[in-house]
Chains A and B, each alone.
Chain A
Amino acid sequence: MENKFDWIEKYLMNEMSVREQIEFEESLRTNPDLMKEFLLRRRINDAITEDDILNLRQNLNHIINLETEEPNKRLYIYSAVAAILVFVIVVSGIFLNREKQVEKNSLFASYYSAYPAMMSFRSLSDQNDTTKLMYEAFNFYDENEYDSAAVYFKMVLEKDATNTMSQFYLSVCEIENNNLIEAEEYLSDLIQKKNHIFWEQSNWYLALVYLKQNELDSAESILNKVVQENMTQKPDAEIILKKLN
């Protein structure tokens, strides 16, 4: 008697007589293990005959790796140039303090960028009002229309004050609109709330807001927290702290 794998393969390859097929199909109905193995092997067959997907994977792999190699070569050249620059800066220590002041002023610009928009909803028709408002807000946010986006995020918060996502994106809108005091308030509040997914980002953006306002002690305090609590932005925070000191 052949094993169940042979049996399944014969069926999948149309190598059975009609009587064998009927017998096999009957066994499928009554034997869950056989059914499980059959479904797996059928899916594998589907997957390995997807020539187009296999080809697309190969193309994408090629593109992604090619695009990464070229910057690496450039990176090598930049590293060499950077090494020379470091040398020049070291021997020119006398000018360093003045440069540091300029650097502090440009830290915000170097490290800030608006947090990417998240959006997309299955179907608006069956969504609640809050979700529809979020959708509008993200449409504006995605188009860099931060004034309008802020209006919608505020409407969400009026309906649901606990919506941390809306509050976080509103704070980014306020930074973009140069309403730094408002941004600071929203972000400080988000940090207090703590148990949400934007907590680390809120710390980071608040530090940047302080940098922009030239409140360096406050910025330093938050950045130290970013480092101590091993947040995602720790490497950047460490660099900024070095520059501040």
Chain B
Amino acid sequence: MRSLDNKTIVQGIRNQDKEILKSIYSIYFPTIKRFILDAKGSEQDAKDVFQEGIIIIYRKIKEGNINLTSSFKSYIYSVCRFIWMKQLSKERENAEQLDVYLEYEEIPDVRLDEYEKNEQYKLYQKHFLRLEKECQKLLQLFLKNVPLKEIADELGIGSQQYIKRKKYKCKEQLVRYIKSDPNFKEE
């Protein structure tokens, strides 16, 4: 298994290079998995945490906001550990103890609001993908301000009035899905 330097990793994540992402998974996932299993999580938890860790890092890279001064191994480990600890602290009785522990866990530049935003968006996107494909496409085209005529052509729907009604229904269905999720939090 080849090792990767930080620059290659950052570029690979930014470009969503599948080969680099595969290598990152092969090299770093076992450590994350071991930590999560040791901390009473499951293999599925480990996969979820790893995925969110990479996505948070991607967001930071995209915003030009990453400060990778240590090895990537330490960085991703810290990010994933932080995510897992935050999840545990929501559920566990000894949340206070965990918070004390997390004082040492402060990660270089992932702020709590970035973590919270990622959690919210993950939930919204999960339910967005539950919508039928036509709904997904329709909402995205509307939000990208594509003219109604073009939307109608692209989706092969003649009536622009129908498109507007459909868009409304799709959005309301999405909001309903989201609000009925047990992990949804009112702000």
A residues contacting B by CB (< 8 A) are 5-6, 9, 13-14, 36, 39-41, 43-57, 59-61, 63-64, 67-68, 116-123, 131, 134, 138-139, 142, 165, 195-197, 201, 232-233
Cα–Cα distance between A120 and B128 once the two chains are bound (Å): 34
Chain A residues positioned under 8 Å from B81 (CB to CB): 118
How far does the Cβ of A158 sit from chain B's closest Cβ, in whole Å?
A: 17
Cα–Cα distance between A120 and B73 once the two chains are bound (Å): 11
Chain A residues positioned under 8 Å from B39 (CB to CB): 232
Chain B residues positioned under 8 Å from A142 (CB to CB): 70-71, 73-74
Chain B residues positioned under 8 Å from A45 (CB to CB): 143
Given contacts A50-B125, A139-B70, contact A59 B16 (CB under 8 A): yes
Q: Is B40 an interface position by the 8 A CB rule?
A: yes
Chain B residues positioned under 8 Å from A50 (CB to CB): 121, 125
Chain A residues positioned under 8 Å from B16 (CB to CB): 52, 55-56, 59
Chain A residues positioned under 8 Å from B108 (CB to CB): 120-123
B98–A197 touching, CB < 8 Å = yes
* Interface of chain B, main secondary structure: helix
- Which of B34, B97, B105 is A120 in contact with, Cβ under 8 Å? B105
Q: Is B47 an interface position by the 8 A CB rule?
A: yes
Cα–Cα distance between A243 and B106 once the two chains are bound (Å): 41
Q: Is B155 an interface position by the 8 A CB rule?
A: no
B residues contacting A by CB (< 8 A) are 16, 18, 21-22, 25-26, 29, 31, 34-35, 37-40, 47, 50-51, 54-55, 58-59, 62, 70-71, 73-75, 77-78, 81, 97-98, 101, 104-109, 120-121, 124-125, 128-129, 136, 139-140, 142-145, 168, 171-172, 174-175, 178, 186-187
A48–B128 touching, CB < 8 Å = yes
B38–A232 touching, CB < 8 Å = yes
- Which of A55, A64, A118 is B105 in contact with, Cβ under 8 Å? A118
Cα–Cα distance between A48 and B129 once the two chains are bound (Å): 9
How far does the Cβ of B180 sit from chain A's closest Cβ, in whole Å?
A: 13
Cα–Cα distance between A60 and B29 once the two chains are bound (Å): 12
Chain A residues positioned under 8 Å from B31 (CB to CB): 116
Cα–Cα distance between A59 and B25 once the two chains are bound (Å): 12
Given contacts A49-B140, A142-B74, contact A120 B172 (CB under 8 A): no
A43–B124 touching, CB < 8 Å = yes
A64–B50 touching, CB < 8 Å = yes
- Which of A47, A53, A116 is B34 in contact with, Cβ under 8 Å? A116
How far does the Cβ of A198 sit from chain B's closest Cβ, in whole Å?
A: 9
Cα–Cα distance between A6 and B169 once the two chains are bound (Å): 11
B40–A232 touching, CB < 8 Å = yes
Contacts beyond the supplied A41-B175, A52-B16, A197-B101: 20 A-B pairs with Cβ under 8 Å: A9-B168, A47-B125, A47-B128, A48-B139, A48-B174, A52-B58, A53-B121, A63-B22, A64-B50, A68-B47, A116-B31, A116-B34, A116-B35, A118-B77, A118-B78, A118-B81, A120-B74, A120-B106, A122-B109, A201-B38
Cα–Cα distance between A52 and B128 once the two chains are bound (Å): 15
Cα–Cα distance between A217 and B184 once the two chains are bound (Å): 51
A52–B125 touching, CB < 8 Å = no
Cα–Cα distance between A20 and B129 once the two chains are bound (Å): 33
B21–A63 touching, CB < 8 Å = yes
A44–B51 touching, CB < 8 Å = no
- Which of A47, A64, A120, A165 is B124 in contact with, Cβ under 8 Å? A47
A44–B174 touching, CB < 8 Å = yes
Cα–Cα distance between A89 and B71 once the two chains are bound (Å): 45
B78–A53 touching, CB < 8 Å = no
A39–B187 touching, CB < 8 Å = yes
